[in-house]
Structure 1
């Protein structure tokens, strides 16, 4: 016969096992599909870096004009990010992702038919506006199914779609550019936009049929499983209500908000080199076959994914965020700043791109562990949302600066140095502006 404590322990173990089974079922139902959708999102956002190998010449754009067009995506993103999330709360994720993914697929495919810089600028703004609500919308959607204690792992797995997209987009885009040019009188970059935009449209239509807005509507869950999830989320909502957040204006009065905003501003600067300019840099090193350019472009993401995992694991084990973020910033800065020295050495160039990509992915994953642990509970909700939105200014300014430097100085060397400086300053903002003792984590 078991004693009372043993019975209680056994009951707890059974309940924990049942909870894990429910969350495992929800995870396998939702995460794989949303992961694939995010791969499509980054594919349609970053493939302009491969189109650049043919596109700018055909449309008649300078490096400065191309850089401006790349940055305009973030303008549309900033304007529509918050409204899209508010709309999701009102109509649900199925209708929201149907709108987002079909629209961005149509815009991405439609970019195949631009003929002037002005048309390119319009296409980029529209693509940013269409995609704006996807990432924050999915993060919001996770809160309907997973309590906070389980969301960190789900979100981290979801974000590795960026690495997968980088690994897939290089060989795929390179193959399309290399083999389809001239078919039906279309250029390779036109085929690339068409073929890589269409899967997003299909995924958007499938999302409307496949996804479930809320646990209570999930026919693929039993009544007991629905009740369990609803109770879990309701309990968390009640806990949050006891710590009601103030308005966004409170966040604007705290200096720590601006420190974090600038640190996040530095992340897109590193990403632009990795996502957009890397194919051009590889081609200029002497790789003439465009498919080979795509294959080489995938390598840094493989290394970067491993580095992101190791940095995150070390940071979690040590419960140390600031210096891990700084290390990532230094890696990104060193990798980017030294790229001009490796212009004629493919081997060295690939090493530096791997270092830069590892740094960027480390910056991206580690940054979002800091604001929730540092901002006071009264400003966390509003502050984190505003940091995300204002940080996109880095996505507007970085390609514009790199493109301008390439046009007016005859090379991208000065632009790459600017990226390195901003990356270092972002790391210093965290290390010098955020006291270690103020980051509250258990």
Structure 2
């Protein structure tokens, strides 16, 4: 019995071509997305000085992005399902690039809040849209690896983007009368818009429209996806409303929420923490040091997602990764020297980056059609509110206990809650994944 490899040569060829053609470009898009939503961490000190923004206001502004993101997530994914990924993903990218560049006008608290909210609205639906898009192209047993390549965008954004942001902050101040943080927002935002235009000409919405697939490859891939969809219809919700009220979908929301609290609690404050430990202002040196944890995650992504696909152990490996995230965040508070704290951040970053593509194999194995469009969007919308809660929660707990350790500890607790929720999926989740693999195998014959 062959469960770890695609048994149909045309299907295997189609998946390989799609993975090589689509996922690296999607990873580039995701890298720019992560850079534009997280680069606010690099301007924290300069922006607060120039715009008179306090810590609480910065935390609110950093997190308010996710309110706009959440409000428009479901409508955005429904539009993608209707008009196609090629048009909609490129539209999202062009508009969020413009909105990110406009952050250069954040001269006071009100402007900071409004522009961060607009950025969230502009980007709404991007990542859940790509997750939905992956279900059109990759059978269940290959989806973890494909999403793992897509999630390369997270560490790539911060391996390359951290030094870039630090460099721009160091050298661009005063040029043409603009502050260094204004140049950073302008350059990194417009880069996203340029790639968004290219995406319109590069992406293909469905396998049937791919000129780089043979007819046999198109038929094999569409048959495999259709077989999985029939299995999903028999075992999960089939309409948008059913998905929105489904208990398992709501549990996926809670898990993703816990993951995002861990992710953004670190992303927004890692540069500042490294700056404190090195005793230097945020610039090129801090940028390079901040890139180290993301490089570690980049290395781990390919191997761990490939292992989970090969063994069919997405849930179990996801649990292990989220345990690493919580432990790393917790231990990062216990040192005052750079090396052990940086090591703890490496452990945490590997955990919360790698857990995300593994997590998404679970709801995509359960949802199909319009239920997938709305359900994945709901998970992304409400789950991403963890990014809104994270900085506010961290600041509030620090204020309450008068301790930075307490703030990071709260983020670690969120990771532990996510672990418990993942464990609660239990045997039902494993049976669902096994059914998806069997359906894909049958279609490939």
TM-score by length of 1: 0.85
2:394 to 379, 395, 402: 402
Stretch of structure 1 that moved more, 90-99 or 225-234: 225-234
Residue 249 to residue 172, structure 1, CA distance change in 2 (3 Å)? same
In the alignment, the residues of structure 2 paired with residue 210 and residue 109 of structure 1 have an alpha-carbon distance, to the nearest angstrom, of: 24
In the alignment, the residues of structure 1 paired with residue 355 and residue 236 of structure 2 have an alpha-carbon distance, to the nearest angstrom, of: 30
Equivalent residue number for residue 290 of structure 2: 297
Q: What does 1:256-405 correspond to in 2, within 5 Å?
A: 256-289=248-281, 290-309=283-302, 311-312=304-305, 315=308, 319-320=312-313, 324-343=317-336, 345-371=337-363, 381=372, 384-405=376-397
Equivalent residue number for residue 202 of structure 2: 210
2:145 to 136, 147, 153: 153
Q: Confirm or deny: 8 A CA contact 2:77 2:128 kept in the other structure.
A: yes
SS at match of 1:144: helix
In the alignment, the residues of structure 1 paired with residue 377 and residue 128 of structure 2 have an alpha-carbon distance, to the nearest angstrom, of: 9
**TM-superposed deviation, 1:201:** 0.9
Residue 367 to residue 386, structure 1, CA distance change in 2 (3 Å)? same
Q: Which runs of 5+ in 1 are unaligned?
A: 1-12
Equivalent residue number for residue 5 of structure 1: none
Equivalent residue number for residue 45 of structure 1: 37
In the alignment, the residues of structure 2 paired with residue 81 and residue 347 of structure 1 have an alpha-carbon distance, to the nearest angstrom, of: 39
Residue 160 to residue 317, structure 1, CA distance change in 2 (3 Å)? same
2:84 to 92, 98, 111: 92
Number of equivalent positions: 427
**TM-superposed deviation, 1:90:** 2.5
**TM-superposed deviation, 1:235:** 5.5
2:412 to 407, 411, 420: 420
SS at match of 2:278: coil
Stretch of structure 1 that moved more, 404-413 or 183-192: 404-413
Equivalent residue number for residue 64 of structure 1: 56
CA RMSD, aligned part only? Answer: 3.2
Q: Confirm or deny: 8 A CA contact 1:250 1:379 kept in the other structure.
A: no
Q: Confirm or deny: 8 A CA contact 2:41 2:271 kept in the other structure.
A: yes
In the alignment, the residues of structure 2 paired with residue 161 and residue 136 of structure 1 have an alpha-carbon distance, to the nearest angstrom, of: 14
**TM-superposed deviation, 1:430:** 2.8
1:354-382, Cα deviation, whole Å (9 max, x unpaired): 12212222432333344456x69999846
In the alignment, the residues of structure 1 paired with residue 243 and residue 220 of structure 2 have an alpha-carbon distance, to the nearest angstrom, of: 35
Equivalent residue number for residue 13 of structure 2: 21
Q: Confirm or deny: 8 A CA contact 1:63 1:406 kept in the other structure.
A: no
Q: Confirm or deny: 8 A CA contact 1:245 1:378 kept in the other structure.
A: no
Stretch of structure 1 that moved more, 250-259 or 386-395: 250-259
**TM-superposed deviation, 1:241:** 5.5
Q: Which runs of 5+ in 2 are unaligned?
A: 435-445
Q: Confirm or deny: 8 A CA contact 2:254 2:383 kept in the other structure.
A: yes
| Larger relative contact order, structure 1 or 2 (CA cutoff 8 Å, min sep 6) | 2
Residue 360 to residue 32, structure 1, CA distance change in 2 (3 Å)? closer
Residue 27 to residue 331, structure 1, CA distance change in 2 (3 Å)? closer
2:425 corresponds to 1:434: yes
Residue 223 to residue 261, structure 1, CA distance change in 2 (3 Å)? closer
2:75 to 64, 83, 106: 83
In the alignment, the residues of structure 1 paired with residue 81 and residue 364 of structure 2 have an alpha-carbon distance, to the nearest angstrom, of: 22
**TM-superposed deviation, 1:252:** 6.7
